[in-house]
Amino acid sequence: MTAAIIWLIVGLVLVAAEVLSGDFVLVMLGIGALAGAGSAALSGNPIVDVLVFAASSAALLILARPALKRRFLAGTGVRTNTEALLGTSAVTISVVDSAGGQVKLAGEVWSARSLTEAEVIEPGTTVTVVEISGATAVVSAAP
């Protein structure tokens, strides 16, 4: 039973260390060590335990890790933060020109400026957010 506890501790330490690396290698080795702990608890044969650890770690590294990396690196396709505001509609609450103004965007009042210097947008006009520049929404009158 001592071997099972050692495998368990090693597995948990490796899984916890994954937080620092973020590369999905240590977590795979940690899960392999946890499989080795299960084997040690059931069989008590150190050779079988090492083989279970090696086989499960290798399988996870070869099969699961690439799929997980693709999933996390590809992202969800959901736009967040200011990126989510691009293309949305807002309503001007003051005159908006190239020097400034204000719009109601996503329920909040934002500083805004028009996309072109010649464009002057009157209050109450529906506009489209073209860009977010700092804390300022760059808008254009909706067609």
Q: pLDDT tens track of the chain, all 143 residues?
A: 688 899 999 999 998 998 888 788 999 999 999 999 999 999 989 999 999 999 999 999 999 999 888 877 776 667 777 888 899 999 999 999 999 999 999 899 999 999 999 999 999 999 999 999 999 999 998 66
Coil, strand, or helix at residue 20? helix
Q: What is the pLDDT of residue 61?
A: 94
Assess contact for 100 and 111: CB atoms under 8 A.
Answer: yes
Residues 62 and 114 in one domain: no
| 138 DSSP β-pair partners | 113, 131
Q: What is the pLDDT of residue 18?
A: 86
> Could you tell me which residues come within 8 angstroms of residue 127 by beta carbon, excluding any fewer than 6 positions away?
89, 90, 91, 92, 96, 103, 112, 121, 139, 140, 141, 142
The count of residues in the chain is 143
pTM score over 0.75: no
Helices and strands, number each (H, E), in the chain: 4, 5
Residues 12 and 54 in one domain: yes
Residue range of the domain that includes 110: 81-141
Tell me which of 29, 58, 74 is where a domain ends: 74
